[in-house]
Amino acid sequence: MGWLSRIFSSTGVDVVASVGKAVDDLITSDEELALTEIQKQKVTTAYKVRMQEILMEVDQRALEYEENLERSLTERHKIDMKSDSWLSKNIRPMTLIFMTLVVTLLAFSTIFTSSFTAEQNETIKAWIPFFQTIMLTIYGFYFGSRGLEKIQKIRASKNEPSRLKGLISAVDQEPKG
């Protein structure tokens, strides 16, 4: 039993490891080592290619999601403009006016306050990025969407040549009277 305990003891493990390394160095040829290195490179390359494919697929799905989101938003705006509700047609201008008034009032209340404390200054500094983002979004959306609506009307009128001919012939007519 003593020889088994010596084999399986920690020194036995070290002996087995050193013998294994010596056998590996003697038996493994340079060609086998080169093949192992080539296999490592193949696995690494296949991994990198697969990761690129996955990233491209994620980007494609994100793009499809964005397009679908924009399409649904545009559809909602079209439906709002076709409805008979006064609120749905005027929510954008009302939001623009309200937020402009709020930001203007906050700006004037801080400028013309005689007792402006450091605490008020810190509070304002915390709110400025929020109001900048909100105002840029509202102004960009309001004027951007209005510009987009006008561009769509122009494109739609270009697609109707009979309507344009009617407009041109009306201009060419002499006044009656």
pLDDT in tens, 76-85: 777 777 777 7
Q: Which domain holds residue 96?
A: 86-170
Predicted structure pTM score: 0.39
Query: 26 — phi, psi (to 5°)?
Result: -75, -40
Distance CA 15, CA 7 (A): 8
pLDDT band at 132 (very low <50, low <70, confident <90, very high): confident
Look at residue 13 and tell me whether its pLDDT is greater than 70: no
Higher pLDDT, 52 or 109: 52
Angle at 104 between CA 89 and CA 127, to 5 degrees: 100
Flag whether 5 is in a domain. Answer: no
pLDDT band at 97 (very low <50, low <70, confident <90, very high): very high
The mean predicted confidence, pLDDT, of the chain is 76
Same domain assignment for residues 103 and 149: yes
Flag whether 154 is in a domain. Answer: yes
| Predicted pLDDT at 177 | 44
**HSE of 163, CA atoms in CB hemisphere, 13 A:** 8
Flag whether 74 is in a domain. Answer: yes
Same domain assignment for residues 70 and 91: no
Same domain assignment for residues 102 and 131: yes
Helix 161-172 to helix 118-158 angle (10° resolution) is 80
Q: What is the DSSP letter of 116?
A: -
Q: What is the DSSP letter of 112?
A: T
Flag whether 159 is in a domain. Answer: yes
Distance CA 166, CA 19 (A): 99
Distance CA 62, CA 65 (A): 5
Same domain assignment for residues 77 and 108: no
| Predicted pLDDT at 152 | 78
Q: How many domains does the chain have?
A: 2
Residue 115, Cβ neighbours under 10 Å: how many?
5
Same domain assignment for residues 105 and 149: yes
